[in-house]
Structure 1
Amino acid sequence: ALFYVLSVSQWGLWILLFWPQHLTLSSPLDCRDDQGSLSRCTSISQEKLLDRVIHHAELIYRVSEELCSLFEELFIPFPFRLQSNQAAYACITKALPIPSSKSEIEQISDKWLLHSVLMLVQSWIEPLTYMQNSMERYDHAPDMVLNKTKWVSEKLFSLEQGVVVLIKKMLDETTLVTVYSDQNTVQNDVQPDVLESVMRDYTLLGCFKKDAHKMETFLKLLKCRQTDKYNCA
């Protein structure tokens, strides 16, 4: 059995603290119309779209933090938490050409900021789908964990759509192809044992949280450059 230790009363506290449904009601980012085109985002201004994309990225990062904390409390003994932190170098997006130091980030162009965000978003779509399917196989997995994972996965698709339209608006680029392949990519056909699966999902969550923070930071830097180019450090 998994490390499932919360009581019913504790669950009530988790629900109050960790499910920010009220935050999702403002500034929605739903670009696709009934025909599947991205017209809902192309019809609004660049400034308004950037604000919505930033808000969306903020929500994704915030919920990823909550999901990590909840997952850790439910399933991960303390010694294993330390091991996961030490294994952060194994994140699946490590091989991407994403700037990491402050000096690199300050020097890159607006175009590269946007492309970096899109690369991160697209690189996580498949792993999050895998993780969602993996958690559904847990014994006694709480609905809250499953719902949060599904929510983040769905919102990542919406963020991708918003960033694609933003690139078209800001860079006047009509096509964009991101190709990502790395040996650390999650293998969907592998069925590890329960503990191994839990630890893999825990590592994925930690890595995604870090990358979600990068997405948010890059987008906020882009917004700052639009309004106060010389004071965004």
Structure 2
Amino acid sequence: LHSNIMSKRTGLFLWCLHGMLGSAMDCKNGGAGNVHCSISVDKLLDRAIHHSELIYIISEESTALFEETFIPKSMHAPQNNWGHCNSKTPPMPTSKSDVQQISDKWLLQSVLILIRFWMDPLKELQSSLDRYDNAPSALLNKTKWISTKLMNLKEGVLVLIKKMLDEGTLDPGNSVSLTSFMVPSDETEYVLRDYSLLTCFKKDAHKIETFLKLLKCRQTDNLSCSLF
């Protein structure tokens, strides 16, 4: 009974989010890779930030639910300890001078690289979770929602690149396979690999949110914008 109630609550929650955000950030694909969007840059950036905030929140909830269901407390990943995560994604600036030196183009390009970096691993994660005998429906729904909204966010970022930089697609970077995290030899290692992926995605989801908020700040007051 409890699981049915949780499932219904999760379904209602996801339905409400879909209705609130709309589809693909109100942008339409005009064919041949051309994306058309009638929304202003300011509003588009606000929606991109809103998307990224929700993606990060749901990634936190997904990781916590995975931990609660499959990972002994003694093995929970320490907060903000990301040493095991892939280092090929764009780095977070580490000082005020770094923040001042990076360009809007770098921020947008980094967001796009991060999004594309995670699209395939999240799809593979879905396939992996579907093979679990006891994966909570809430976890499956949340991770599927993340994949969908990440695709929507990518479309919005492509429009931002077109509008703000007057450029087409930037360097997409390299995607990553689940096998980059671990080559499992048994069921326990599959679980640990998927856990590692979720914790690392949560880190990069926060990075995407941070980069977009910094970009937004720069549109109004470039001198005072900082992560520190």
Report the TM-score, using the length of structure 2 for normalisation: 0.84
- Determine which of 152, 156, 162 is the counterpart of 1:158: 152
1:172-197 deviation line (CA, Å, top 9, x unaligned): 10232323267xx4239x66422111
Could you tell me whether the CA contact under 8 Å between 2:41 and 2:163 is conserved in 1? yes
Q: Which amino acid aligns with 1:67?
A: S
1:20-45 deviation line (CA, Å, top 9, x unaligned): 43344324351345868664x52221
User: 1:105 maps to which residue?
Assistant: 99
User: 2:54 maps to which residue?
Assistant: 59
Query: How many angstroms apart in 2 are the aligned matches of 1:138 and 1:206?
Result: 19
- Determine which of 204, 219, 230 is the counterpart of 2:223: 230
Does 1:186 pair with 2:178? yes
Query: How many angstroms apart in 1 are the aligned matches of 2:121 and 2:57?
Result: 19
* Runs of 4+ more than 6 Å apart: 84-87
Could you tell me whether the CA contact under 8 Å between 1:53 and 1:163 is conserved in 2? yes
User: 2:74 maps to which residue?
Assistant: 79
User: 1:95 maps to which residue?
Assistant: 88
Query: How many angstroms apart in 2 are the aligned matches of 1:102 and 1:177?
Result: 25
How many Å apart are 1:227 and its aligned residue? 1.4
- Determine which of 206, 209, 218 is the counterpart of 2:211: 218
1:78-126 deviation line (CA, Å, top 9, x unaligned): 12214x769732213x123433414323431111111111111110001
Query: How many angstroms apart in 1 are the aligned matches of 2:65 and 2:201?
Result: 15
**Residues 51, 85 of structure 1: alpha-carbon distance in 2 compared, 3 angstrom cutoff:** closer
Unaligned runs of 5+ in 2: none
Q: Which amino acid aligns with 1:90?
A: H
Could you tell me whether the CA contact under 8 Å between 2:41 and 2:164 is conserved in 1? yes
User: 1:45 maps to which residue?
Assistant: 40
Does 1:208 pair with 2:201? yes
Superposition RMSD on alpha carbons, in Å?
2.8
Q: Which amino acid aligns with 1:99?
A: M
Alignment of 1:128-147 (within 5 A): 128-147=122-141
Unaligned runs of 5+ in 1: 1-7
Report the TM-score, using the length of structure 1 for normalisation: 0.82
